Amino acid sequence: MSTNHACFERAQKYIPGGVNSPVRAFGQVGGEPFFVARAEGAYMWDVEGKRYTDFVGSWGPMISGHAHPDVVAAVTDAATHGLSYGAPCPDEAELAAEIIKLVPSIELVRMVNSGTEATMSAVRLARGFTGRDLIVKFSGCYHGHADSFLVKAGSGVATLGLPNSPGVPACLADLTLTCEFNDLEALSEIMRVHGERIASIIVEPVAGNMNCVPPLPGYLQGMRKLCDDHGSVLIFDEVMTGFRVALGGAQSVFGVKPDLTTFGKVIGAGMPVGAYGGRRDIMSMIAPLGPVYQGGTLSGNPLAMAAGLANLKLIQVEGFYDRLTATTTTFCRGMQAAADAAGVPFATVEVGPMFGLYFAERVAKNYTESAKSDIDAFKRFFHASLKRGVFFAPSAYEAGFISLAHTDEIIAESLAACTEAMAEVGRGQ
């Protein structure tokens, strides 16, 4: 049997930092990552056989739990018919049809292979449709690693404390204007000055990459009006919130209709899938229908389509979101009680089955506030929970996720472990 340390040593010989995505390396929390041998339901097991209750869920996709039998069966069956065709297959249209059925703002949708590809393509499309170059994003929001987004980004970029990423040409970074999330006045001023040059505002309707930060009342509605007033394309980046915070995504929760929406995570059930879609007049600009180019060897991959279709079927079961939302509330209330008992400044926020844990007096409304939380307390809590078999995202700038597999018993078991972990934090250990 190998050990986590041996796996990490070996991985570092061949892979930068030993990981294929920076946030996995435990950079903000210290220590070494465990290496997963297998996952099932709400649990993951490392190579040493230690079991973890998983509140990361592969950063959102595993809303039905790891290795759900329906998803595994769909992928296994698809694999027997070949792994990739480089030619269209019927399931691509079936998954597109399901997304369009569930999200009324979508008239046409294109499959890609990651959230980054989805957002990168949506912004190119918005620029092609408007003939404009500037975009607006928000400090702490993360839209993947395309050059235009690595400006005051969240998630792994914030975790590593990088204001921006080297390698992004200044001439390109200059085309991305940034603004604090939830500050409609500041956004209005940007649009007043630059609006006629702004191709798009791209936003996480519930920010999940600077911890979990919901929009203030009226914020998204105000953003919609600003885009209408200035002819800019409103892109909701629902890679994380899509089919996560509600069946119709964040746009259905807040009643705001974007022009384009990006997806990922849940629509692939853990397989590499992203998608972007929206208004027919805009999407019709995409090749081969229109002149804006975007392509991908593995886009619409049959195994990924099968996984996505199986997952979207599972989430449409009556009461699915009610159940997960109630579980999330139980968990967050239990965490707050544990912190209060331990005398630890703490706050939680939840949007459906997505939540944020703050080692701070209150939930943040933007990145500046989120960055003021007690990162050291979070770090100690993270490790105190991990050693008790509970795995949270290894960064204070991430959200947490509940799945269908998080039963009442598993939540109770996790809260007992986290209560002990919080007591350790309260004792200054």
List the one residue from 26, 35, 59, 359 that touches ligand KE4 (CB under 6 A): 59
Q: Does 148 bind ligand KE4 (CB under 6 A)?
A: no
- Both tokens of residue 142? 């993360």
List the one residue from 105, 121, 148, 209 that touches ligand KE4 (CB under 6 A): 209
Q: Does 142 bind ligand KE4 (CB under 6 A)?
A: yes
The footprint of ligand KE4 on this chain (CB under 6 A) covers a number of residues equal to: 21
- Distance CA(327)–CA(211), nearest Å, equals 19
- Distance CA(297)–CA(187), nearest Å, equals 38
Q: Compute CA distances 314 → 305, 308, 329, whole Å.
A: 14, 10, 21
Q: Does 239 bind ligand KE4 (CB under 6 A)?
A: yes
List the one residue from 53, 119, 211, 370 that touches ligand KE4 (CB under 6 A): 119
Part in contact with ligand KE4 (CB under 6 A); list of ranges 6-14, 115-123, 326-334, 411-419? 115-123
- Distance CA(400)–CA(355), nearest Å, equals 5
Whose CA is closest to 114, among 58, 185, 181, 34?
58
- Both tokens of residue 416? 């007992």
Token match 């746009």: residue?
A: 251
Nearest approach, Cβ of residue 237 and ligand KE4 (Å):
5
Q: List the 400-401 sheet strands across, edge first.
A: 347-351, 354-358, 400-401
List the one residue from 208, 242, 249, 352 that touches ligand KE4 (CB under 6 A): 208
Q: Does 308 bind ligand KE4 (CB under 6 A)?
A: no
List the one residue from 91, 237, 350, 369 that touches ligand KE4 (CB under 6 A): 237
* Sign of the C-alpha dihedral computed for residues 358, 351, 147 and 169 taken in this order: negative
Part in contact with ligand KE4 (CB under 6 A); list of ranges 5-13, 203-211, 320-328, 342-350? 203-211
Q: Does 270 bind ligand KE4 (CB under 6 A)?
A: no
- Distance CA(364)–CA(399), nearest Å, equals 13
Nearest approach, Cβ of residue 273 and ligand KE4 (Å):
9
- Catalytically annotated residues: 142, 237, 265
Angle (deg, nearest 10), helices 184-194 and 219-230: 10
Complex with ligand KE4: residue 311 or 426, whichever CB lies closer: 311
Q: Does 327 bind ligand KE4 (CB under 6 A)?
A: no
DSSP 244: T
Q: Does 243 bind ligand KE4 (CB under 6 A)?
A: no
Q: Does 264 bind ligand KE4 (CB under 6 A)?
A: yes
Complex with ligand KE4: residue 156 or 308, whichever CB lies closer: 156
Q: Does 114 bind ligand KE4 (CB under 6 A)?
A: yes
Select the residue whose beta carbon is closest to ligand KE4 and give its number.
115
Q: Does 421 bind ligand KE4 (CB under 6 A)?
A: no
- Distance CA(83)–CA(89), nearest Å, equals 12
- Both tokens of residue 54? 């998983």
Distance of CA 13 to the CA centre of its chain: 29
Q: Does 244 bind ligand KE4 (CB under 6 A)?
A: no
- Distance CA(303)–CA(307), nearest Å, equals 6
List the one residue from 240, 310, 314, 347 that touches ligand KE4 (CB under 6 A): 240
Compute, in degrees rounded to 10, the torsion defined by CA atoms 147, 245, 28, 377: 150
- Give the footprint of ligand KE4 on this chain (CB under 6 A): 21, 23, 59, 114-116, 119, 142-144, 155-156, 204, 208-209, 237, 239-240, 264, 274, 398
